[in-house]
Structure 1
Amino acid sequence: MRKSWRYAAIAAVAAASLALSACGDQKESGGAEKPTTTAPSGGTAQSSTPPASSAATPNAEALVKANCISCHGDTLDGKGSEKKNLTKVGSRLSKEQIVTQITNGGGGMGAFKDKLKADEIEAIAVWLAAKK
């Protein structure tokens, strides 16, 4: 009897850990990568990151992968939920509506205003609004 109680307790803790980790995998900074340098045969180091002008614009696809796929799925199909399906979200919501949804959450979605910067939310909204 005592062993079955232990197994049940271990299973409950494992299930709770999996559930919490699936929904809590949202990075605050958007998961920016550190620049790396390589020295080509010419002897001068070159950065593998894009120039500063394009670095100022957040990479929406990378932000979505870092913050959204745990609930919306790897392909943004909503994991079987039509409400969470983002594959054609631009045909349902405007960019402004998407910004509001990401910022404030609602309808089962958590708010990201404290997890993402305004320009990151904007970049994600532009990217998602194009999905029609």
Structure 2
Amino acid sequence: MNKKLVLWLVGITFIIVLAACGDGSNKDSSPEAIADRSCIGCHGENLQGRDGLGPDLTKIGAKYNKEEILEIIKEGRPGMGANIIKGDDAEKVAAWLAEKK
């Protein structure tokens, strides 16, 4: 294939990907949406947990209050990195999870 054509196709693909990603300003900032972006990979789509990854969070508020959950989000746990969610988003998710009893 012609080298110019390959470069052109790569460039167009790059532009399309960037356009699809946007700048993030239109992202849903609800705690559910934040958790969908940040937590479901390990805790599952319904926060029910995944074997060998993240524990069930469906009743986490019965075990921890908002401040304790926020501390876990900030400090991490074995197998969970620190600051996966930051700032106001972490506050929102901690409050939302604290309501799950």
Q: TM-score range by the shorter chain?
A: 0.5 to 0.7
The one-letter amino acid of 1:77's match is: Q
TM-score (norm 1): 0.52
Deviation for aligned residue 1:79: 1.7
Gaps of 5+ in 2: 1-22
Q: Larger radius of gyration, structure 1 or 2?
A: 1
Cα gap change, 1:79/1:120 in structure 2, threshold over 3 Å: closer, same or farther? same
Aligned residue in 2 for 1:85: 56
Aligned to 2:93: 124
Q: Tell me, what secondary structure is at the counterpart of 2:50?
A: helix
How many residues get paired?
A: 79
Q: Alpha-carbon deviations, 1:49-104, whole Å to 9, x = none?
A: xxxxxx9xx411100000000000001011246x6110000001111110000011
Q: CA separation in 1, counterparts of 2:25 and 2:30?
A: 9
Q: Relative to structure 1, is the Cα distance of residues 121 and 80 closer, same or farther in structure 2, using a 3 angstrom cutoff?
A: same
What RMSD in Å do the two structures reach over aligned CA positions?
2.6
1:33 aligns with 2:2: no
| Larger helix fraction of residues | 2
Indicate conservation of the 8 Å contact 2:74/2:86, yes or no.
no
Aligned-pair identity in percent equals: 42
- Moved runs in structure 1, 4+ residues, more than 6 A? none
Aligned twin of 1:9: none
Q: TM-score, normalised by structure 2?
A: 0.67
